[in-house]
Structure 1
Amino acid sequence: MSSERDDFSLSGPLHLTVIDWTNIDHQRSVAASLVQGVYTLERDRQLKREGSQALAPPWWEFFHFRLLRQLVDDVDFCTFGAIYEYCPSASPRNDSTDRSPRYVVALRGTITKADSFSRDFDLDIQIIRNGLHQTSRFEIAMQAVRNTVASVGESNVWLAGHSLGAAMGMLAGKTMAKSGIYLESFLFNPPFLSPPIERIKAKKVKHGIRIAGSVITAGLALALNANQQRNRTADPFLSVAAWVPFLYVNPNDHLCSEYVGYFEHRKKMEEIGVGAIEKVATQHSLGGLVMSALGKDAPGEPIHLIPSANLTVNLTPVENFKQAHGIHQWWRDDQQLKSQFYKYQ
């Protein structure tokens, strides 16, 4: 099963024989495939698939990329990321290069195999604790992003990640945005830490719960002076509002489905005239505020809270959570996708 999933000839987007870099569906498919390349690199390592037995190379070579560097964790020495370089001259295909990246930094998610699961799981816990920025794996990824941008410029770099890798990509993108660098980013199934309100079918009940949550969150934030009047340029939320990553979520994936309600609710609160409440609430995690109220400061700001996004929701029916959370759905050409642009004002 693992080999079939890793084998590009069996699972990859073979329909993309010519890439139109102005086509967002093509961009999404390539970005997802490059992330899959990282997963397969690590599984090649674990299963000792080398040389002609390695399954990873087609995941980038099919799109005329070369593997420039593997990102290796300093704790368990697993491959968790890769830097790819686009080499269009390597093929006679007449691909449009108007919006092609020169380099892509891709980050994988959790692998549930003994060789890497322990470290991956520890990092998943750090997402919950808002402590991912303090981990050595993130520092390695962040340095790779900074060095690549410094070498070729922000307009030539894409950032891509899935699950845990999407959380790292989110944090890296927000970090760069705070310094005025806005990377083209493709984040697949990014974790959103919240009760699964989006799974509630009754719309009125769901909306009521969200309004109550916003009022409580905003009220607690104000009570703790978390929303004190600051210089607008010093507002950490406003400072990343110009960064608009592409977020890809599946409503049947409880780890990321709350992004749907997060952005829709903000829009509805503005429509009913209480947008000011939501402007405060959307910047804060209720759990983090409760910790602050108890005198326990979280290590860092919540990764999942973000001002702006191009949100794409996969409405295609799935059989189970594994399909809803998987990376493979994002390069298939038979999916029912709905996209919405959200810009924080």
Structure 2
Amino acid sequence: MATEREIFSNSGPLDLTAVDWTNSQHRRTVAASLVQGTYSMEHDRQQKLQGHLALGPPWWEFFNFQPVQVLVDEHDLSIFGAIFKFKFPPSYGNYLPQNPPQYVVAFRGTITKTDTKKQDLKLDFQFIRNRLHQSTRVHLAMQAVQNMVSIAGAANIWLAGHSLGSAIALVAGKNMVKMGCFIETYLFNPPFTSVPIERVKNEKLKHGIRFTTSVIKAGVAIALNSQHQRSQKDHSFNILSGWIPYLFVNPSDPICSEYIGYFEHREKMMEVGIGNIARLATQNSLGNLILGATGKDSEPPHLIPSAYLTINVSPTQDLKQAHGIQQWWKQNINCQFKLHQYR
């Protein structure tokens, strides 16, 4: 059975009848709706819904998109992503809207249903272990993104994802930056592999925990890595700093809320003159440092230098609502915005 949020006529952004592509809220709504479209595609596949019974089409047709490719996981045959192409409707006439993406590559998150639960949770665990980049889904995602870049150019493509899907989009986006391609990216509730310190209510205690953790990470990084290795990591992080994805997080969602403290604490450390500790701490997680000590060095998939951070500070009823994709196409949510740029 479909839930209400999966049915566009019940919960979709019906009020957005004319998209202003220069409006950041409109762009957020379109990106989130296309991600929901990938969820609905997989729901339709599992329930064998086609034609007028399918739930997916309204999520992209409302914004004049059409799917040109679906991305299928070979292990469970589930649809985990899709490539959507923008169609200029006849009503535009000779007027061309400003800056719509030609293509959007969107990825869904975890679905805890029988057909998808095992593989999705396996990938969640791979993300925690810094091994998501080795998965079939990431390899397929990279092939799709590279193909779209060769067809349309990086400036005409969006990446978008929710939860596990945002982790896939994040890895793909970072890899493309290393190839010299900067793609506009929308990451909804991206997972952050860390203890959710942001949930601590006492501000002094929270700051103390963050400071201690940063000092430990910096110290371990110095102890385990040579000056040359640290210089290489610093160079890699600097390359990524020019790519500024849009991050959408909810402080009541422990899966993604740590991004708030990650960026805010780094700025506080820079302000008080301990930038070297901040620089090392922001590039490393304790997990990847421990793996590095065992000879299994890998880049933490969730750590990024820069971001446009949007925080939904509207009240939420529970974790399901705080982590849900549906909050991001609501027009009346109370959001805080800030650009965090690594220097």
TM range (shorter): over 0.9
Where in structure 2 are the equivalents of 1:124-135 lying within 5 Å?
124-135=124-135
Q: Distance in 1 between matches of 2:49 and 2:35?
A: 18
Q: 1:43 is paired with a residue of what secondary structure?
A: helix
Superposition pairs for residues 170-181 of structure 1, below 5 Å? Answer: 170-181=170-181
Match of 1:306 among 263, 282, 304: 304
Counterpart check, 1:236 vs 2:232: no
Measured in 1, the distance between the counterparts of 2:338 and 2:93 equals 32
Instruction: Please say which of residues 311-320 and 229-238 is displaced more in the overlay.
Output: 229-238
* Alignment-mate amino acid for residue 84 of structure 1: F
Alignment map for 1:70-89 (pairs within 5 Å): 70-89=70-89
**8 Å Cα contact 1:20-1:95 kept in structure 2:** no
| CA deviation vs aligned residue, 1:20-74 (integer Å, no higher than 9, x gap) | 0000000000000000000000001111111110010010000001111111111
Taking the aligned partners of 2:313 and 2:320, their CA distance within structure 1 comes to 15
Structure 2 residue aligned with 1:338: 336
Instruction: Extract unaligned runs of 5+ from structure 2.
Output: none
Query: Equivalent residue for 1:297?
Result: 296
Q: Paired residue for 2:251?
A: 251
Unaligned runs of 5+ in 1: none
Structure 2 counterpart of 1:15: 15
Q: What is the alpha-carbon distance in structure 2 between the residues aligned to residue 94 and residue 305 of structure 1?
A: 44
How many Å apart are 1:230 and its aligned residue?
A: 6.5
Which residue in 1 is equivalent to 2:145? 145
Q: 1 CA distance for matches of 2:273 and 2:307? A: 22
Instruction: Give the Å deviation of 1:247.
Output: 0.3
Task: Give the Cα–Cα distance (whole angstroms) in 1 for the partners of residues 206 and 96 of structure 2.
Answer: 44
Cα distance in 1 for partners of 2:255, 2:230 equals 33
8 A contact 2:42–2:78 mirrored in 1? yes
Runs of 4+ in 1 over 6 A off after TM superposition: 93-96, 229-234
Secondary structure of 2:145's aligned partner: helix
For 1:264-308, what per-residue CA distance to the aligned partner results, in whole angstroms no more than 9, with x for missing partners? 000000111111110011100112213333x2525x311111000
Q: Give, in whole Å, the separation in 1 of the partners of 2:288 and 2:138.
A: 21
- Contact 1:187 1:245 (C-alpha < 8 Å) held by counterparts: yes
* Matching residue's letter, 2:326: H
Q: Offset of 1:179 from its aligned partner? A: 1.4
Structure 1 counterpart of 2:139, which letter? E
* Greater Cα offset, 252-261 or 273-282: 273-282
Q: Is the 8 A contact 1:249 1:312 kept in 2?
A: yes
Q: How has the CA–CA distance of structure 1 residues 173 and 134 changed in structure 2, closer, same or farther, with 3 Å as cutoff? A: same
Report the CA distance shift for 1:95/1:119 in structure 2 as closer, same or farther (over 3 A): farther
Tell me how far apart the structure 1 counterparts of residues 223 and 121 of structure 2 sit (CA, whole Å). Answer: 35
SS of the residue corresponding to residue 185 of structure 1 reads strand
Following superposition of structure 1 onto structure 2, how do residues 73-222 of structure 1 map, counting pairs within 5 Å? 73-92=73-92, 97-222=97-222
- Measured at CA, do residues 187 and 94 of structure 1 come closer, stay the same or move farther in structure 2, by a change above 3 Å? farther
Measure, in 1, the Cα distance between the counterparts of 2:178 and 2:235.
10
Post-superposition offset of 1:231: 6.2
Q: Cα gap change, 1:93/1:268 in structure 2, threshold over 3 Å: closer, same or farther?
A: farther
Q: Secondary structure at the match of 2:242?
A: coil
- Corresponding position of 2:38: 38
Contact map agreement 2:176 2:182 (CA 8 A) in 1: yes
Shift of 1:229: 6.3
Which stretch of structure 1 is more off in the superposition, 105-114 or 93-102?
93-102
Aligned to 2:322: 324
Q: Find the residue that maps to 2:171 and give its secondary structure.
A: helix
Partner AA of 2:262 in structure 1: Y
Percent identity reads 53
Q: What is residue 63 of structure 2 aligned with on the other side?
A: 63
Question: Residues 233 and 213 of structure 1: is their aligned pair in 2 closer, same or farther, counting only changes over 3 Å?
Answer: closer
TM-score, length of structure 1 as denominator length: 0.96
TM-aligned CA deviation for residue 227 of structure 1: 5.3
Q: Is the 8 A contact 2:189 2:255 kept in 1?
A: yes
